[in-house]
Amino acid sequence: MSQTSLNIQGKTLVFSAGVEAGTGLALMIDPALVTMLLLGVEVRSAGMLLGRCFGIALLGLGLACWPRRQHADSSPPAVRAMLTYNALIALYLA
């Protein structure tokens, strides 16, 4: 794999991991607001609990896929994990 390709993958992974971790934090803090912004629906008590659970999962995914400095050029498993998650959640929400 070329150095340019690895550089683009690394930047994409950092961006995706940051977005997932940020969304996870937002869901943990205020799931009702995030759900309203993302889906346009109100949530009730069970939805609040599930929103916080998914927030924890997103935060964990974001942190797990954050590239480490010493292994920044060898992150294909993390890239595959993040791309798989993003593709499946986009299909599910659509």
Give domain limits for the chain: 3-93
Q: Supply the pTM of this predicted model.
A: 0.71
Per-residue pLDDT of the chain (94 residues; tens, 9 = 90+): 566 766 788 888 889 889 989 999 999 999 999 999 988 999 988 889 889 888 888 888 888 877 776 555 555 777 777 778 888 878 877 7
- Find out whether 24 and 63 touch, Cβ atoms under 8 Å: no
List the one residue out of 67, 54, 70, 69 whose CA is nearest residue 12. 67
